[in-house]
């Protein structure tokens, strides 16, 4: 068994090259070989969102609270609420974030690849792309 105690200083601001707006990240699970699973709680202020990105082995996202927007490159937009779950296929370019009116928290679960990477980050989601999804 391995216990990791929660501390008050565990929330990490989301890097500005990965996110637009105010985002805080709490680590939930780190890969412990042979497992490759990593999980994080990600807290988004209204209007905050990820950059475009992919996951080499896919991602499951579970909305804890608030309202979530997510979209992929084919233009599909989904709105998710508490308890909704979204799966992104390996290599599927997508983004997700809070609506303009609500905070949102989701649990992100994915596996790291052979190099230890769970995600490949791309360009920021533009204000126009976000506005089109939020409309």
Q: What's the CATH code of the domain at 64?
A: 2.60.120.10
What confidence score (pLDDT) does residue 9 get? 67
What residue numbers bound the domain in which 45 lies? 26-134
Q: Give the side-chain half-sphere CA count within 13 A for 131.
A: 3
pTM of the predicted structure, to 2 decimals: 0.92
**Is residue 7's pLDDT more than 80?**
no
The number of domains in the chain is 1
Distance between CA atoms of residues 68 and 46, nearest Å: 10
Instruction: Judge whether 49 and 99 are in contact, CB under 8 Å.
Output: no
Alpha helices per DSSP H over the chain: 127-134
Residues 6+ apart with CB under 8 A from 3: none
Residue 113 lies in a domain: yes
């Amino acid at each position: 068994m391995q216990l990791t105690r929660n501390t008050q200083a565990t929330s990490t601001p989301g890097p500005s090259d990965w996110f637009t707006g105010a985002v805080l990240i709490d680590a939930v699970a780190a890969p412990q070989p042979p497992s490759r699973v990593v999980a994080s709680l990600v807290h988004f202020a209204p209007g905050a969102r990820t950059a475009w990105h992919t996951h080499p082995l896919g991602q499951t996202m579970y909305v804890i609270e608030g309202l979530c927007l997510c979209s992929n490159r084919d233009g599909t937009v989904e709105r998710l609420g508490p308890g909704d779950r979204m799966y992104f296929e390996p290599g599927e370019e997508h983004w997700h974030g809070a609506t303009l009116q609500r905070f949102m928290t989701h649990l992100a679960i994915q596996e790291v690849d052979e190099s230890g990477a769970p995600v490949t980050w791309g360009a920021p989601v533009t204000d126009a792309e976000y506005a089109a999804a939020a409309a």
